[in-house]
Amino acid sequence: MVGVSNATGLQEACAAVNGFLRSRFPSVTWTSIAVLFNPRMGLHRDIQNMAGHLNHALALGDYTGGRVWIEDDEGDSTAWLADKKGGRELRGRWLDMHDKPVSFDARRYHMVEPHAGSMWALAAYVPQAYARATEQHREALREADTWLFCLFEFGSSLQILASKH
């Protein structure tokens, strides 16, 4: 389903997160943001992200570990991808995103290293669904001076909302 929401729940928080990310990634654009507390993300690909658009991420908090491993054919690290044929080794590299902005193709394999402490991860991206937006949806976005869609995850509770930016 594709649509434009004008949820009111946490618009100020969404706008604050967007403003913060703009200060760290001033020359890129996105339509959506994920805010994750203590993410536990194994090896995966975000195949629902729009091709040609990078993910822009960073993490904050008092924690150790929590780097992001990204698939990179020239990388100096490996990860094991289990599949129906038994699995295969992938080449990649580790990026420190602790208060450091990183950008990568999330349609390639990536994972977050286990961490200790309190970690907030922020990711800005463009989902494929944006390409399926109708002209009516796009006009609503233009009239609203662009809305930003945020996904906040707290444990097992998810909230999706939109905010002007």
Q: Token pair of 62, please?
A: 């008092």
How many C-beta neighbours within 10 Å does residue 133 have? 16
pLDDT band at 120 (very low <50, low <70, confident <90, very high): very high
Count the neighbouring beta carbons within 10 Å of the beta carbon of residue 54. Answer: 18
Chain segment 42-101, per-residue pLDDT in tens? 999 999 999 999 999 999 999 999 999 999 999 999 999 988 888 999 999 999 999 999
In the prediction, which pLDDT does 160 show?
47
Position 159 pLDDT exceeds 80 = no
Cβ atoms of 106 and 34 within 8 Å: the answer is no
Domain ranges of the chain: 11-164
**DSSP character for 50?**
P
Pick 17 or 154 by higher pLDDT.
17
What is the chain's mean pLDDT, rounded? 81
Domain 11-164 belongs to what architecture? Answer: Sandwich (2.60)
Beta strands in the chain (DSSP E): 32-37, 55-65, 68-71, 77-81, 88-95, 102-104, 110-112, 115-125, 147-154, 157-164
- The whole-model pTM stands at 0.79
